[in-house]
Chain A
Amino acid sequence: MAELVLHDLGKTFGNVWAVRDLSLTIHDGEFFTLLGPSGCGKTTTLRMIAGFIRPSAGEIALGGRVLSSAATRSAVPPEQRGMGMVFQSYAVWPHMTAAGNVAYPLRRARLSRADIDARTRRALDLVHLERFADRYPQELSGGQQQRVALARAVVMEPSVLLLDEPLSNLDAKLREEMRTELRDLQERLGITVVYVTHDQTEAMALSGRIAVMQAGRLAQAGTPRELYERPADPFVAAFVGAANFLPGVVAGREGSTTRIRLLDGTNNHIVAVPDRLSGERAVLCIRPEDLELDPAGSLHGAVVRSTYLGNRVDYFIRVGSLTVRVESRAGPALAAGERVALRVRRAVAYADDSEMTSDTTSTGRAAT
């Protein structure tokens, strides 16, 4: 069983905690993603798992075997962890052919000549590079180098495969192609994958579960659906998809539902959220597609700007003193200034103990 357990993991560089109090259990055969903006500690975490960085606190164990422990200052060196890794820069060795690169781990393991040849060929087949075995990296495209790196990482049939932003250097079309292939490969080999990325679309498309990290700490771990529909805090809501953040005050509580009055200047709108919130002030978080253009809607506003995107239209709509972003199926065009009504299909809210300064929309990136 290759269950990978991170327990209270931490790493300091100088006085700065790059990773702090990180506890995660990654199940055998799971596609697990560490997601977050640059500098959130995701790559540091991955490199601690690989054994390139020693943790300053906590412990890493694989299938019950302790790999790194800050307490006993012990660490299994990377070459003895039985893992495979694909680097962001691919790190394909320029002085070896594609086959030479893939065969290297086998050679280090001192397998027989015949074994090495057979397994190298099988790994190259797996990534569709059989015809390029004798090419040098300089003679391969970026996508092909990427496949060489992938074949090299899986040729030893590792129990854990580590992927450090492997798709970030590819163009959009190739990225999508490789995404599908990665997923296929993982399902076929049934190995545990730990994947690092800052791209939420990629994370959602690939992962069984995702851990969102912020400033060295775990913000939330869960399935893509959980993260998108029930983000634990505004940061996760903004990072995974786009969101409108709107100020409100608690108007009443019924069971596990809280009713929140929207502070849009008119104070006429109440939105119910399926949470029991403490405190008086709240931040409402509404996904752009959860605001529906509906003549019977209770939220009235005027179109500020609309952007036609083919399968949908993005609107900015002024509601009282607020501007919200609305995503709707492409319908008849609405001109700027036109009056519309909106219905809130779904919302979540967070208790707001700070002073909310922004009265406008999403601080996150657009979901595609």
Chain B
Amino acid sequence: MLAAQSFSQQGHFTLAHYARIAADPGSSRALVNSLVVSSWATGGATALGVTMAWLIARTDLPGRARWHTALLIPYMIPPFIGAIAWVYLLSPAGYLNQAWMTLTGSLDPVYVIYGPTGIVFVMILYEYPIAYLATMGVLQRMNPALEEAGRMARAGPWAVLREITIPLVLPGVLAGALLVMMASLGNFGIPAIIGFPARYIVLTTKIYNLILNFDEPGHLQAAAALSMWLVGIAAVLLPMQRAMLRRGRFAVVGGQASGASLVALGHWHRPVVVGLAALVTVSVILPLGAILLTSVIRAYGLPPVPGNLTLRHYATALADLPKARRAMTNSLLLAAGAATAIIFLAAGFAYLKERTRIRGTDILEVLITLPYAVPGTVVALAMILAWLRPIPLIGLRLYDTLGIIFIAYLARFLVFGVRTTLAGLTQLHGSLEEAARISGASRGEAFADIVLPLIRPSLISGWLLAFIPAVTELTLSILLFSVGHETIGVVIFGLQEEGKIALAAAVAFLVTVLLIGVNLASRGVLRGTGA
């Protein structure tokens, strides 16, 4: 659909849209900007993530389980909310700049976040957990005997690290880095909030501008043509990432909970703790503090003294702003509805793929991955193009309804449900079901009595994995919402852009705290059920 539109003009095949974006220096600049920003972000996030993973998995650092949780919190903060928080901190009048000017008497802010370095900085802060988790996974699954065998072969600890550990871990790390790259390229919220004020445009924000530029004829088609750049890049990166994962799988066979020998930190202990604490401060405490502070000050810019504090914004957001209340209802309903539908679809799909020999499930799986692998902006555009006109025959028009957002969430987050359900079902030996069959249960009864109860933890975690990002989804919603059908992400973004900063902060703070709470609580629940 998207590809077709990018070639069409009133039903005729044309390359005009491609010609137009090729001729527009803004488009090629957006492409270059996208690549530059994403490359730096990927490098930084990967370096940070790998270092952290090594520290937590392979050193004798005390309290590693707590640090592990703390390091994952940035992952639970929606990136655009993180970006808004850093604007509060480092805009020309941001708290950190104010503090600097007050302390030194300088008239210039120490650093203004707007622009490419700011985008890269915030991306690193909120994307390093991707690289961290990927590396952690490999390090924990790696059979410690592989490293011990190296020691027995007379290799010293550094030789083992260089010649055994790193080569074994590398494919997994690179796969993680490619995921970071895709996340950076597809991110809309960070470049929108930090890039627009500096007129620094990347592909996703450029496409956003094109879509909203209703005065220009063929604007959607031009956006579609530009989107094909992003699709093209994803089409290169995704197979690379999968290939890396496959290569990495050989390296870690047979690993269980690893009893790898830990490196003693010795006198490095103190600097490491200081570094970790600094990272948590910069990625979690400062931003959340900034949002909280902004939300309780009478007006943004006033000094944070007791006389200026108020809870009025929360009251406004919760009671007097119908848009905000509506958005919360919409987002929770959409997220819960989409997550529930996803779990049903995923359970059905996983069962078909794992337990029957119906053909085409592999292709279907690739199709399910696509809407997540491709940047959200592109997915939203595809949704617009597909649903703009009423559905033939039944005459239902999804555009301008919650329905289009629901379908977009469904498509985008389906992969989470499918992955977790598949993982759960793969671990379930087929003989468990066969034992039920031979005990007198039909196919359906065996599924209900044996399979469902046993994959329930996977289903719950799949539901949460889809629900949590959907609650604060911005990229899709901002392009698909209509009046009366706003979502939380849209409202926060809108309030921020309109300058109703304190209100934006109030909503953002509520949602972020809620999400982190749900996330941490669900970890406890899932651990309790043995997932």
* A binding-site residues for B, Cβ under 8 Å: 50-52, 77-81, 83-85, 87-89, 91-95, 104-105, 108-109, 149, 152-153, 156, 162
B453 engages A78 (CB within 8 Å): no
Interface string of B435-456 (1 = CB under 8 A from A): 1111111110100011001100
B435 to chain A, nearest CB (A): 4
The contact size tier of chain B is 10 to 19
* Residues of chain B having any CB pair with chain A under 8 Å: 429, 431-432, 434-443, 445, 449-450, 453-454
Contacts of B438 in A (CB 8 A): 50, 78-79, 81, 83-85, 153, 162
Given A79-B437, A87-B435, 9 other A-B residues pairs in contact with their CB atoms under 8 A = A81-B438, A85-B434, A93-B435, A95-B453, A95-B454, A104-B436, A104-B439, A108-B441, A152-B439
Q: Can you show 10 pairs from A to B with CB atoms below 8 A apart?
A: A78-B437, A87-B435, A91-B434, A94-B454, A104-B436, A104-B449, A108-B439, A108-B445, A152-B435, A153-B438
Chain A CB within 10 Å, residue with most, of B441, B443, B445 = B441
Task: Provide the residues of chain A in CB contact with B440, threshold 8 Å.
Answer: 79-80, 105, 108-109, 156
Known: A95-B453, A108-B445. A79 touches B439 (CB 8 A): yes
Q: Which residues of A contact B453 (CB under 8 A)?
A: 95
The CA-CA distance from A78 to B436 in the complex, in Å, is 9
Indicate if the CB atoms of B434 and A50 lie closer than 8 Å.
Answer: yes
**Contact between B449 and A79 (Cβ–Cβ < 8 Å)?**
no
Residue from the set A78, A88, A95, A105 with the largest chain B CB neighbour count within 10 Å? A78
Residues in A neighbouring B437, C-beta threshold 8 A: 51-52, 77-79
Distance of B355 from chain A, by nearest CB (Å)? 12
Q: How far is the CB of B48 from chain A (nearest CB, A)?
A: 39
Instruction: Specify which chain A residues have a CB less than 8 angstroms from the CB of B454 in the assembled complex.
Output: 93-95
State how many angstroms separate the Cβ of B280 from the closest Cβ of chain A. 37
CA of A84 to CA of B440, assembled, Å: 9
Does the CB pair A87–B434 fall under 8 Å?
A: yes
Bound complex: CA A88 to CA B429 (Å):
11
Q: Which B residues touch A162, using CB under 8 A?
A: 438
The 8 Å CB contact of A88, one of B431, B436, B442, is B431
Nearest chain A CB to B136 CB, angstrom units: 26
Q: Are the CB atoms of B441 and A91 closer together than 8 Å?
A: no
Residues of B within 8 A of A92 (CB): 435
Taking CB atoms, residues of chain B closer than 8 Å to A153 are: 438
Chain A nearest CB, measured from B6 CB (Å): 42
Q: Is the CB of B431 within 8 A of A78?
A: no
User: Chain A's nearest CB lies how many Å from the CB of B378?
Assistant: 40
Is there contact, CB below 8 Å, between A93 and B431?
Answer: no
Q: Please name all residues of chain B whose beta carbon is closer than 8 Å to the beta carbon of A50 when the two chains form the complex.
A: 434, 438
Q: Smallest CB–CB gap between B351 and chain A, Å?
A: 16
Q: Which residue of B lies closest to A94 (CB)?
A: B454
Chain A CB within 10 A, most for which of B438, B440, B454? B438
| A87: nearest chain-B partner, CB-CB | B431
**Residue pair A93, B432 in contact (C-beta under 8 Å):** yes
B353 to chain A, nearest CB (A): 18
| Chain A residues whose C-beta falls within 8 Å of the C-beta of B439 in the assembled complex | 79, 104-105, 108, 152, 156
A-B CB proximity, top 8 nearest: A105-B439, A108-B440, A91-B431, A91-B435, A87-B431, A78-B437, A85-B438, A79-B440
Please give the distance in Å from B95's CB to the nearest CB on chain A.
Answer: 52
**A residues near B432, Cβ cutoff 8 Å:** 91, 93
Q: Return chain B residues, CB-CB under 8 Å to A79.
A: 437-442
Minimum C-beta distance from B152 to chain A (A): 28
CA distance A12 to B434 in the complex (A): 21
CB of A124, distance to nearest CB on chain B (Å): 16
In angstroms, Cα B434 to Cα A89, docked, is 11
B399 to chain A minimum Cβ distance, whole angstroms, is 45
B357: shortest Cβ distance to chain A, in Å?
11
Closest residue to A103 on the B side, CB-wise?
Answer: B439
Nearest CB of chain B from residue A76's CB, rounded to whole Å: 12
Within the complex, the shortest CB–CB distance from B499 to chain A, in Å, comes to 55
| Complex: chain B residue closest to A81, CB-CB | B438
CB-nearest residue of chain B relative to A104?
A: B439
Q: Which of B431, B435, B437, B453 has the most CB of A within 10 A?
A: B435
A83 proximity list for chain B (CB < 8 A) = 438
Could you tell me the distance in whole angstroms from the C-beta of A167 to the nearest C-beta in chain B?
A: 16
Shortest Cβ distance from B429 into A: residue? A89
Q: Is the CB of B449 within 8 A of A91?
A: no
Contact in complex: B429, A91 (CB < 8 Å): yes
Closest A residue, CB atoms, query B438:
A85
What residues of chain B lie closer than 8 Å to A156, measured between beta carbons?
439-440
